[in-house]
Structure 1
């Protein structure tokens, strides 16, 4: 491997550092103990957290010691947003979400060996901190002018809703995390998103003032699409890493649908493929974009990273089966349900609905005459079998798991007829 900072920069995973020369020297002398924090303000991590987990993994593979912090304390407050106060969640909710996030994070890091990862929870040191100790031992190191100048704080102060003392104090608590991890584990590097710069540097300043020691910050840039628009939103909202909140099939399809202008950059950021492999895929995008080889590599790698190889194989087969390249009946019910969840749907009755009816009911055709023409021209399929009889009825044996029947018009237009099995 090249110098780890050069590797991260080539991959588009570096934005800012407090002192790049000093950090490079520290990493070269190594190993360095570093941490990244994840607040349980939701029951799952999302694609933005994925970037941070990948950075942590790169650093661990380069021989450094990771600390993964789940903010059981800071999660009860929440990092200030650019607009509007966060809703405060109760202790039991935050505790439950803390456990869920720990389980997600553990899949990305190696907890064995000389530089095995360690999970930490800031509730362990913040939970028992008295108000007097907080003000005397921590608060005295912070200056209001510096705190008020933080970008998020400044914007909130200029807004109509302002900012509460609770959220204003968040940067002190995050700074305390860095100090505590420095004292407990010799941690000297914190990583995070570039939008967190102010909170991250608060920890560097606190370590310097309280301990007279040097510490470092390394941030990642905000990932955007080639056209400058925000990356990482689906029709249903965030790209969650939890399979129950965003199915592995939908997750796979999200990456598979990456634009040609974005896919090489996403391969660098979100996969661990070598430079040579990515350069080869870049040539494939240029020479044969229709094959979408790079998109398939991206979807398979990221889905495997997040959900595991078995889930990736199931959704890959489902994706193929929808278009007749694998057997629909071999898909498990959950994967089939996820695969058809975003398709147009229409009601059907076994023994009464004809394929012509179903083409209209699902919206694949606007009327019976159009449906009749599609069937006669050989462009209608039921469960990937070509339909030649416009009066063909839907039979019980046509139903897939969950009461579905897959309809296709031409090569790419899909819909699902559903039968109420109750």
Structure 2
């Protein structure tokens, strides 16, 4: 049975010990619970904490804004793209939110795919989007994480850099005779976050700042087109209604009636359960659970039986001897069983001394003893050994005189049956 620690004892006046009196209400409540109740309370607390944490994480999954992941068409927050999706749908474009990975999906080459600020982009997804562009698709990427697409399309070391943002970026259609027409009626763009592409050699610059640093670039890749925005902020919900940002969003789609596919798997929507949570949120949830467990543990005493007050010693010597005696008593209880082997050995030695067969008759034994000068009583005790203490004493006395009897010529030995001793012969 498991030992249970005794409750704190009160003093002579019935007061509570000072350490318990100064404890918090939670600690006093915890001390009053049994081990089973503490285990149940711990499990319930952990379940509640995990559920509350998951509810909170579900409402803010992925991240940076209260309305959902940054640059996701599902996000209603200021950093989301839901307004862009609504605008495209209202302008006659078919809008698709792709939750599965591009590698496992079929992207039509007549569509425009948008990848903005990707958080989860595997090599397989990158390769699938590359095949989509090569087949004639239009791919619009945005943010620093889109750098591999620009480098892969151009084969050059194009890098994303950051500078001071401009309040408004202006399109100059007259310079180099180009690219004002590429953005249609777009003249002013708000929401610049300072991202730039450099160097932009070999790329078509669709939008640049006053220092001619590229903000939006494009390039033809075989049958398809890649358009890269250094920042996705001009397309965000907060900025879409500013300046000509709405017109810019529609121009990026690439033509009327073209399907717009938001790649949402890069924001974690393709996963289910805990896999859909960012790793930072998983670590935060694990920290909350650990804090709860350690808090409950520190408020109460250790689980399990109380530790002993003293070290358990080996059993006392008397108890040990008594136990051994009890075992021996169970093994052999009759005295004859204990002294029998000794008597048999003595009979064999006596027979060898007298020169008779150990199984000879008593008459032969007595005759041999008479010839050897031994007391016939010795022969009688040896051939008919007792089964009590007298027999044991006889064996002891006989053994004590064995050496002398076997090395010297002695007179007859006599046995005192009252004391169990063997009398020495008179040699004088």
On whether the aligned pair clears a TM of 0.5, the verdict is: no
Higher relative contact order (CA 8 A, sep 6+): 2
TM-score category, normalised to shorter length? under 0.3
TM-score when normalising by structure 2: 0.25
Greater Rg, structure 1 or structure 2?
2
TM-score when normalising by structure 1: 0.25
Indicate the structure with greater helix content.
1
